[in-house]
Amino acid sequence: MKASVLTRIQMKPYGAGGRNAPFTEDYCPDFVVSGQSERLQVRAIQCPGPVAPGEEAELVFSLMYHPQRDYSSLQVGVTFDVMEGFRVIATGRILAVHT
């Protein structure tokens, strides 16, 4: 199995800069760990169903380029922004790491 992280994310509402539509598995945003600028590419591999703007959910994301890229900043308890381009569409916390 590919390296992955279990997360809890809080989607921003559309009116506050969030997405205008829900996402499901295979969604590929970037994570940016709080206090850092490096973008880490991830892919949603387990969703509870469509995750809509304004919702909170637990999801599993695969670390798309592990081990070629360094994902060591994604540790349990770390907070991060979920990015689409230059827009923060959600915030999250790492609940578990599976490598």
Q: List pLDDT tens digits, range 75-89.
A: 999 999 999 999 999
Confidence (pLDDT) at 27:
97
Write phi, then psi, for 59 (nearest 5 degrees): -140, 155
* Contact criterion met (CB below 8 Å) for 80 and 92: yes
Q: What number of H helices and E strands is found in the chain?
A: 0, 6
Q: What span, in angstroms and rounded, lies between the C-alpha atoms of 21 and 78?
A: 26
CATH 2.40.30.10 fits 4-98, yes or no: yes
Token pair 């599976």: residue? 98
Confidence (pLDDT) at 1:
59
Confidence (pLDDT) at 59:
98
Token pair 């591999």: residue? 45
Confidence (pLDDT) at 78:
98
* Contact criterion met (CB below 8 Å) for 98 and 21: no
From the list 56, 59, 64, 62, the residue with the least C-alpha distance to 47 is 59
**Residues 23-79: pLDDT tens digits?**
999 999 999 999 999 999 999 999 999 999 999 999 999 999 999 999 999 999 999
